[in-house]
Structure 1
C-alpha cells in the first residue's frame, strides 16, 4: 500500500505543476487559489508584460515611498524640531512620487482592452486612424519627460525655499 500512496502523490504533484510549465497562452488562476498563488501570478504577469522603462519608474516610486516612510518614522521617533525641514523633505518625496506616477501614466504602453468605435453615418462622416487618434490624445515620451523635469525643478525649488 505505501507504494501506491507514493505513486499517487508523485502523479498529483506532477500534474499540479504541468499547467504552470506548459504555457501556450497567459496563465490563469483557479477560482480557489490562495493569496500566495495570486501574488505570485500577479508578479509573474508584471514581469512578463511590463517594459523595462516602466519597471525602472516603479522601482523609483518604491524608493520614494521608502524615503518618505523613513522620514516620517524619524519624525515620530526622534522628534520634529526643525519642522520646516521635515515638511520640506516629506513634501519633496510625496511630490516627486506624484510627478513620477504622472510620468508613468503618460509613457506606459496603452495596451488595454480594444474598444470599438461608434460608427457615424452621413456624408460628412470623418474616419480617424488609430495612429492619428493616439497622436492627438497623448504626448510624446520626450514631451512627457520634459514636463517631468520641469515639474521636478519647480517642486525642489519650493522645497528648498521652504526650509528657510
Structure 2
C-alpha cells in the first residue's frame, strides 16, 4: 500500500514541479547529505578541531535553510504571498550565502 502512495507522490512531483524547484530540491538534498556526512565523521573520528566541525555543520544547516527560503519564495503557488520577482529572492539567497560563509570562515580560526 505504501509503495503505491510513494509512486503517486513521485509521479505528481515529476509532472507538476518546475525544473527550477527541482534544482533547489537537489541542492537541499546535497546540503542534508553534507551535514549527515560531517556528523558521521565527527562521531567516528572524534571532534578534535571542534571549531571546524561546528563551522562546517553550521554552514550545511545554514545553506539548507537559505535554500528552503529560496524555494518558498520562487514557488509559483506562493506568488501572491511574496509578490517579488524570483530574481530578487535569488539575490537575497546569494547575499545570505556570502554573509554566512564570511562568518563561517572567521569561525574556523
For the aligned pair, the TM-score class normalised by the smaller chain equals over 0.9
Q: What are the superposed Cα offsets for residues 27-63 of structure 1, whole Å, 9 maximum, x if unpaired? A: xxxxxxx000000100000000000000000001001
The 1:49/1:140 distance shift into structure 2, 3 A limit, reads same
After TM superposition, the runs of 4+ consecutive aligned structure 1 residues lying more than 3 A away are none
Out of 86, 91, 109, which is 1:146 matched to?
91
- TM-score when scaled to structure 2? 0.96
Aligned to 2:18: 51
By relative contact order (CA 8 Å, sep 6+), the higher-ranking structure is 2
- TM-score when scaled to structure 1? 0.64
- Report whether the alignment pairs 1:157 with 2:102: yes
Mark the runs of 5 or more structure 2 residues left unpaired by the alignment: none
The answer to which structure has the higher helix fraction is 2
The 1:81/1:38 distance shift into structure 2, 3 A limit, reads same
| Equivalent-residue separation in structure 2 for 1:45 and 1:108 (angstroms) | 16
Aligned to 1:64: 31
Aligned to 2:5: 38
Work out which of the two has the higher radius of gyration on C-alpha atoms and give 1 or 2: 1
Two-structure CA RMSD over aligned residues (Å): 1.5
> How many equivalent pairs are there?
109
Q: What are the superposed Cα offsets for residues 83-109 of structure 1, whole Å, 9 maximum, x if unpaired? A: 000000000000000000000000011
